[in-house]
């Protein structure tokens, strides 16, 4: 088959003994699941699943159906068989209280061809400067390419939401606004118009709050320009919906998009519903909490530029209509979200994932955010942690999320202090020292200097194993089909921990019984990201579905929620935003 002189080596293979057949690999199993998802299997193998040593299912993958749902406490063993050879090892696992299924890619909604064009709206006076209103736009088109006609099928369905993007400070010679083309392209395929604003004239040596205000005004000038195009432009006339606007900003642009909706320069009839703030700065341009729009911030843990992860402050302060979302991404740097920024800003001093993974994170979670808010799509599960996307570094992405209308048992922000929770119910503690502290760099009563947000939370440190904090609920509280959510952080005390810690969350029922679920069963408390002296205590949200608690028939009414610090390695934990969802 391969002519030549001498003949090519025909190769060979070694037949492995039966003892070399490994166990199959399967995804985590969530309590209540009635199938096992196989992620790695030998060619031609049959997978057999045993629950509590009894055969419960058999199949060839990728999913093996079981005879009955897996229950909390069950032991699941999975083997594979090829012919008469059965793997000598099994993959053994316990079902988790919350093991989000891998569902679909929210960035892969490929509905339409994509056209693109540059725009030039002349000049505008901003902060005593004359600046050009220009950039580029990606939009749903009849065919892929520059200047293609707007997609007729999409136009017949009505005006299209817009998303304006703003880059941060970099060399003025580099066209930073071109660096988000991958994000613009993905959004345009879905039916959005994605516009990147050229802010290069504000780049260079300028700094301070004034530079951020100018960027916000330049974003608004681009919005005004597209309003004009919507009235007269042959390509875009009557195609754009200014009642559904999204903003995305990076670095200084990330601070600018937080304030742009409240600036006097924002055009009339332009309604900003969603703001994504990527690795934002804090030059002091904001006044008061971000409000009036749904909010998402993405914080790169290995950021070598905005090392303080200032977006954590915006998340804590934000007062959105419905929800807010935060992603703290380990191994992510500042620059690799923009294709025009070629160098790793942390200089390789910190572990940094490939540029492609940076782009995947922004694509997945940014598209999920804008699709939910601007189009009403069912993608919020990726932000809450109820679903996971395929082919993404999800183990590095630590989520915080809050629904505004959920019942807050204790948010620690109401100045009720430790003896009383938000529901005006008493709290108690035993075997630990718990107090309320400012979880920020500036609070007078801060616990230590490892917190970079702007909230108030409880820090609890056990005096002995199994120290308990109890928060009482009003009489006749029922939690059927609900979840208990809590933000928690492993508190960095100056020395990096050798292993992860955790806790148990308990429900105390009216009859006095208490059922516990361990934090490891809902994803676990992540270790801090090691930045030496700048290592942060960064909270993330854990979800405890009530179905995971072993409820008896009489366990209807819950009278208290308990936190038990049960690890032998005594370490402080920070808690905030205890909610019933």
Domain boundary among 47, 64, 94: 94
Domain assignment present for residue 156? The answer is yes
CATH number at residue 212: 3.40.50.1820
Domain assignment present for residue 439? The answer is yes
Instruction: Tally the C-alpha atoms within 13 A of residue 450's C-alpha that lie toward its C-beta.
Output: 25
For residues 447 and 554, state if they share a domain: yes
66 contacts: CB under 8 Å, gap ≥ 6: 33, 34, 35, 36, 49, 51, 56, 57
For residues 435 and 563, state if they share a domain: yes
Domain assignment present for residue 107? The answer is no
The predicted structure's pLDDT at residue 414 = 57
For residues 277 and 411, state if they share a domain: no
For residues 319 and 182, state if they share a domain: yes
Domain count, the chain: 3
Q: What SS3 state is found at 341? A: coil
For residue 68, give both structure tokens.
Answer: 């009955």
For residues 353 and 441, state if they share a domain: no
The predicted structure's pLDDT at residue 392 = 93
Domain boundary among 403, 423, 456: 403
Domain assignment present for residue 291? The answer is yes
For residues 560 and 508, state if they share a domain: yes
For residues 391 and 412, state if they share a domain: no
Instruction: Tally the C-alpha atoms within 13 A of residue 354's C-alpha that lie toward its C-beta.
Output: 5
The predicted structure's pLDDT at residue 413 = 59
Question: What confidence tens digit (pLDDT) does each residue in 201-225 have?
Answer: 999 988 899 999 999 999 999 999 9
For residues 417 and 391, state if they share a domain: no
Domain assignment present for residue 390? The answer is yes
Domain assignment present for residue 7? The answer is no
For residues 425 and 563, state if they share a domain: yes
Domain assignment present for residue 190? The answer is yes
For residues 215 and 66, state if they share a domain: no
pTM (predicted TM-score): 0.92
- Per the omega criterion (within 30 degrees of 0), is the bond before 226 cis? no
Q: What SS3 state is found at 178? A: helix
Domain boundary among 383, 403, 423: 403
For residues 424 and 346, state if they share a domain: no
Domain range for 48: 18-94
Domain assignment present for residue 103? The answer is no
Element housing 124 (H / E): strand 114-126
Q: What SS3 state is found at 197? A: strand
For residues 65 and 203, state if they share a domain: no
CATH number at residue 440: 2.60.120.260
- Picking from 433, 403, 357, 399, the residue whose alpha carbon sits closest to that of residue 524 is 399
Q: What SS3 state is found at 329? A: strand
CATH number at residue 62: 2.60.40.10
Backbone angles phi, psi at 19, to 5 degrees: -65, -15
Ranges in the chain, pLDDT < 70: 1-8, 10, 412-416, 552-555
């Amino acid at each position: 088959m391969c002519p030549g002189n001498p003949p090519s080596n025909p190769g060979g293979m070694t037949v492995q003994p039966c003892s070399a057949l490994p166990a199959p690999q399967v995804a985590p199993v969530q309590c209540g699941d009635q199938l096992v998802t196989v992620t790695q299997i030998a060619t031609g193998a049959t997978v057999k699943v045993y629950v509590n040593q009894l055969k419960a299912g058999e199949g060839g993958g990728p999913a093996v159906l079981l005879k009955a749902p897996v229950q909390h406490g069950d032991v699941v063993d999975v083997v594979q068989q090829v012919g008469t050879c059965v793997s000598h090892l099994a993959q053994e696992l316990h079902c988790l209280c919350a093991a989000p299924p891998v569902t679909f890619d929210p960035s892969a909604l490929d509905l339409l061809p994509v056209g693109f064009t540059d725009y030039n709206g002349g000049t505008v006076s901003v902060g005593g400067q004359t600046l050009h209103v220009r950039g580029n736009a990606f939009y749903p088109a009849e065919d892929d390419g520059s200047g293609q006609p707007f997609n007729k099928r999409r136009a017949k369905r009505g005006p299209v939401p817009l998303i304006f993007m703003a880059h941060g400070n970099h060399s003025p010679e580099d066209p930073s606004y071109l660096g988000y083309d991958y994000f613009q392209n993905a959004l345009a395929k879905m039916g959005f118009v994605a516009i990147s604003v050229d802010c290069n004239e504000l780049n260079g040596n300028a700094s301070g709050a004034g530079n951020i205000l100018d960027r916000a005004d330049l974003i608004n000038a681009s919005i005004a320009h597209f309003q004009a195009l919507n009235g007269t432009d042959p390509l875009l006339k009557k195609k754009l919906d200014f009642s559904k606007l999204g903003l995305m900003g990076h670095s200084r642009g990330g601070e600018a998009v937080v304030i742009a909706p409240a600036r006097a320069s924002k055009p009339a009839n332009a309604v900003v519903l969603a703001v994504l703030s990527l690795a934002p700065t804090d030059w002091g341009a904001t006044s008061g909490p971000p409000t009036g729009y749904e909010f998402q911030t993405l914080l790169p843990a290995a950021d070598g530029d905005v090392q303080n992860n200032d977006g954590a402050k915006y998340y804590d302060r934000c007062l959105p209509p419905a929800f807010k979302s935060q992603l703290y991404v380990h191994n992510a740097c500042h620059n690799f979200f923009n294709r025009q920024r070629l160098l790793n800003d942390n200089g390789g001093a910190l572990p940094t994932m490939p540029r492609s993974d940076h782009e995947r994170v922004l694509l997945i979670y940014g598209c999920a955010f804008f699709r939910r808010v601007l189009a009403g799509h069912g993608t919020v599960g990726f932000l809450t942690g109820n679903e996971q996307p395929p082919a993404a570094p999800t183990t590095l992405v630590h989520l915080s999320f809050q629904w505004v209308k959920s019942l807050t048992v204790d948010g620690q922000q109401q100045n009720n202090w430790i003896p009383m929770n938000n529901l005006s119910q008493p709290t108690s503690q035993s075997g630990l020292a718990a107090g309320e502290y400012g979880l920020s760099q500036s609070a007078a009563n801060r616990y230590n200097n490892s917190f970079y947000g702007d909230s108030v939370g409880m820090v609890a440190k056990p005096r002995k194993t199994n120290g308990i904090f109890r928060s009482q609920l009003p009489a006749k509280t029922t939690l059927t089909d609900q979840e208990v959510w809590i933000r928690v952080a492993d508190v960095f005390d100056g020395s990096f921990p050798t292993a992860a810690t955790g806790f148990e969350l308990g429900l105390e029922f009216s009859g006095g019984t208490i059922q516990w679920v361990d934090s490891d069963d809902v994803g676990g408390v992540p270790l801090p990201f090691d930045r030496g002296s700048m290592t942060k205590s960064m909270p993330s949200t854990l979800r405890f579905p009530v179905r995971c608690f072993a409820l008896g028939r009489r366990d209807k009414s819950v009278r208290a929620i308990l936190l038990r610090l049960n690890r032998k390695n005594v370490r402080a934990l920070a808690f905030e935003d205890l909610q019933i969802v």
